[in-house]
Amino acid sequence: MKILQNIIVNQVLTDSSKNQLLEKYKSKKSQLQKEGDQLRFELKKLEKTKKFQPASLRSHFEKEISVRQEKIKLLDFQIEQLDILPVGSELKEKEVQGIVDVEIGDNWDELIQTKIIVIKDGIVSEIR
């Protein structure tokens, strides 16, 4: 019998992976700032047309802008934490699902134990 099991993928932090993560965070932050600016511009443009109720229009746009500002704050926090982490630390990158064979007589506790794949610079370095 085969069952699905969640497998954690950890990334070992190296100088190059740290720089890649930093660039990824900065890129996302820049994109969110552009989206916020675009939303503010669209709000002003729509307010001038007077086709929509100003109060509901403003509240909708402010909510969307607020969501992006919260994401920017989270990215700032992640950037700070990345600066603090030493090279060699393991970061949980994602979870994937794998197929596990279950046979009669197998040790159930060993089968259901969480499996971890460790990646270093894009190459699998360890399976636990």
Q: What is the pLDDT of residues 48-79, one digit of tens each?
A: 887 777 788 888 999 999 999 999 999 999 99
Q: 117 is in which domain, residue-wise?
A: 2-127
pLDDT value for 71: 97
pLDDT in the model for residue 97 = 94
Confidence at 112, pLDDT banded by 50, 70, 90: confident
Q: Provide long-range contacts, Cβ within 8 A and 24+ apart, for 23-31.
A: 25/75, 25/78, 25/79, 25/82, 26/79, 28/71, 28/75, 29/72, 29/75, 29/76, 29/79
DSSP letter for 111, please.
H
Backbone angles phi, psi at 32, to 5 degrees: -65, -35
Q: What is residue 23's predicted lDDT score, i.e. its pLDDT?
A: 96
Count the domains in the chain. Answer: 1
Pairwise CA distance, residues 60 & 54, whole Å: 10
